[in-house]
Amino acid sequence: MTLEIITADSLTPFRHGFFTRRGGASSGVFAGLNCGPGSSDQSEIVRINRARVAEAMEVDPDALATANQVHSPAVVTLDAPLSDPKPRADALVTATPGIALAVLTADCQPVLFADPENGVIGAAHAGWRGARDGVLEATVEAMLSLGADRETITAVIGPTISQRAYEVGPEFLDDFLADDPGNARFFAGGEGDRMMFDLPAYGLHRLRSAGVEAEWTRHCTYFDPERFYSYRRATHAQEADYGRLISAIRL
C-alpha cells in the first residue's frame, strides 16, 4: 500500500505532509505507518516506516528531525539535522534547506508553519497542555527570530481529536477558565459534570491571536481508525499501546 499524505494548499510552496497510518510496515495494534520510536513497536520496523517518510519528503532518514516531545512550550532552532540524544522540546524551526521538521501525534495537534516569502518553516506538537502553555506562540516567535514575518506566516493544524470525542472533567474546564473566562466557548456540555473540549478550535484561536493565518484540515483522529492512530481510542479499547502519526515540512 502506498503512503497517504494529506496536504494543505496554503503550505504548497514547500514539500510537506500530514501522513496517515496507511502504507507502513507495522502490524498488530500498530498496523501501518507507526513512526514513534517511543512506542513498543519493533525499532527496526519504526526505522523502515520513518525511512519511507524521509523518501517521500526527499531527504535522507537522518535529516528527518523529531524531538523528544514532552508536552512543553520548548522550541529548538535547527541549522543541521538533529543528533542523539534528541532535545526535549515540542517544536522545531529552521531556515536551512534540506532538513525535514517533523512531529509525532496520536490525538494531539500536529501544526505545520510556513513563511514562503522569507524561507522559514516550523513544526509543533500541541496537545492541550502544550497549547495552553504557549508552544504555538513560541514557534511563531522562533520563526520571527530567523527572519520570518508574522503577516506571511501560515499555520495548518493536521489530524487531531475533535470535540465530539474529547470528554474532560470539571477541573480541566476550571483551569482553562482561570486562564481566560472566554475559553468557555471551547467547551460544550457532556453527560453529568463532563464537558467536551474543542482542541482544534482552541489551537486556531491561539494561532490567530498570535497574528498568523491558520486553518485545520478537519480530520478527526478518533473516529477514523483506518487512517489515524488515536491514544484515546486505544485507551477506550484497552489496547496495550498505540502508533504515532508523523507530520513533516521542509524547505
CATH number, domain of 103, equals 3.60.140.10
Q: What count of residues does the chain have?
A: 251
Q: Burial, 193: exposed, middle or buried (Cβ in 10 Å; 0-12, 13-18, 19+)?
A: exposed
57 within some domain: yes
Establish if 99 belongs to a structural domain.
Answer: yes
How many angstroms from the chain centroid is the CA of residue 122?
11
Looking at residue 222, what is its pLDDT? 98
Q: Cell numbers of 239, please?
A: 489496547
Are the C-beta atoms of residues 96 and 79 closer than 8 Å to each other? yes
* Residue 87, domain member (yes or no): yes
Asked if residue 24 is part of any domain, the answer here is yes
Relative orientation angle of helices 135-145 and 199-209, to the nearest 10 degrees: 40
- Coil, helix or strand for 204? helix
Q: Give the pLDDT means over successive 10-residue stretches in the chain (251 positions).
A: 95 96 98 97 98 98 98 98 94 98 98 98 98 98 98 98 97 97 94 94 98 98 98 97 98 95
In sequence order, which ranges of 41-122 are alpha helices (DSSP H)? Answer: 43-57
Please check whether residue 43 is in contact with residue 34, taking contact to mean a CB–CB distance below 8 angstroms: no
**126 domain residue, yes or no:** yes
Residue 175 falls inside a structural domain? no
Residue 165 counted as domain residue: no
Handedness of CA 88, 36, 159, 189 (dihedral sign): negative
What residues make up the domain containing 36? 5-159+219-250
Q: How many domains does the chain have?
A: 1
In a domain? residue 185: no
Angle at CA of residue 15, ends 10 and 21, nearest 5°: 95
Please give the pLDDT value at position 249.
98
pLDDT of 190 reads: 78
For the question of whether the overall pTM of this predicted structure is more than 0.95, the answer is yes
